[in-house]
Amino acid sequence: MLALVTGASKGIGNAIAKALANEGIDLVINSRSIHDLELLKTEILTLHPNIHIDIFRADLSVANEVDDLIDFIIQKNLYLDILVNNAGIYQPGMIIDGPDGFLEQMMNTNFYSIFRLTRGLLPKLIRQKSGYIFNMCSVAGLDPYPGGSLYCISKFALQGFSRCLREELKSTGIKVSTIYPGATWSDSWKGVNLPMERLMQANDVAQVIISSLKMSPSAVMEEIILRPQLGDL
């Protein structure tokens, strides 16, 4: 099996790539940092030397670079089993006074890149008559919260896209799951004075994907909400 994981160098994407490798699944890993991708590849191959890993550096907020990633998958004639749309960014900001350009930046990364990448790979998946698409949304795509309106808008857009995609692909053999993680530990939380029990671990999210992959062909987890046991921050 082969999985494409975007935003794979850190946090949830990093944990997902490692969890898939633990299952013996080959990988195409993507992020904006070639250095971080090389580190991840080395780390995985140290534990799983038989896994095949391709690296593709691209900033998916840039449409041409999304197209380059699509071309890479198609031209290598790779049989793609799993697409994990995980790349995303967060910037605080409200509608009333959020800095100009913040919404556009988050929409480009958190929504348009996923729309463009998925649509570009769909003909291949449909020809295969199989595949699993995971869209990494957020609880911010379910309920707005103070100070995060612009981010929430981008995640609400992704939620709508993912629900529509699921509906369109029901008869194709391609599964679609939308994952809504709450606060999850990553490097972005370093220096924040919070007890660790207030945050989920990235591997908690990764294991949901592994569990989903082990379901029968006739079942799919359409939407998966994960929150810290103590609730949202």
Q: Which helix (H) or strand (E) holds 2?
A: strand 2-5
CATH T-level topology, domain 2-226: Rossmann fold (3.40.50)
Structural domain spans, the chain: 2-226
- Positions marked catalytic: 151
Q: What is the DSSP string of 64-116?
A: HHHHHHHHHHHHTT----EEEE---------TTTPPTTHHHHHHIIIIIHHHH
Residue appearing with tokens 């660790």? 196
- Whole-number mean pLDDT of the chain? 94
Of 232, 61, 31, 32, nearest to 148 by C-alpha is 232
Q: What is the pLDDT of residues 128-159, one digit of tens each?
A: 999 999 999 999 899 998 889 999 999 999 99
Question: What distances in angstroms separate CA 7 from CA 15, 17, 191, 199, 207, one per listed residue?
Answer: 11, 10, 22, 20, 17
- pLDDT tens digits for 9-19? 999 999 999 99
What number is the average pLDDT over the span 182-208? 86
At position 118, the amino acid (one-letter code) is: T
Contact of 156 with 141, CB cutoff 8 Å: yes
Residue 133: φ, ψ to 5°: -110, 125
* pLDDT class of 119 with cuts at 50, 70, 90: very high
pLDDT at residue 175 is higher than 80: yes
- Whether the pLDDT of residue 223 is over 90: the answer is yes
List Cα–Cα distances, 228 to 33, 186, 195, 201, in angstroms. 29, 14, 12, 9
What integer is the mean pLDDT of 49-77? 96
Stated pTM of the model: 0.95
> What does the pLDDT average to over 154-177?
97
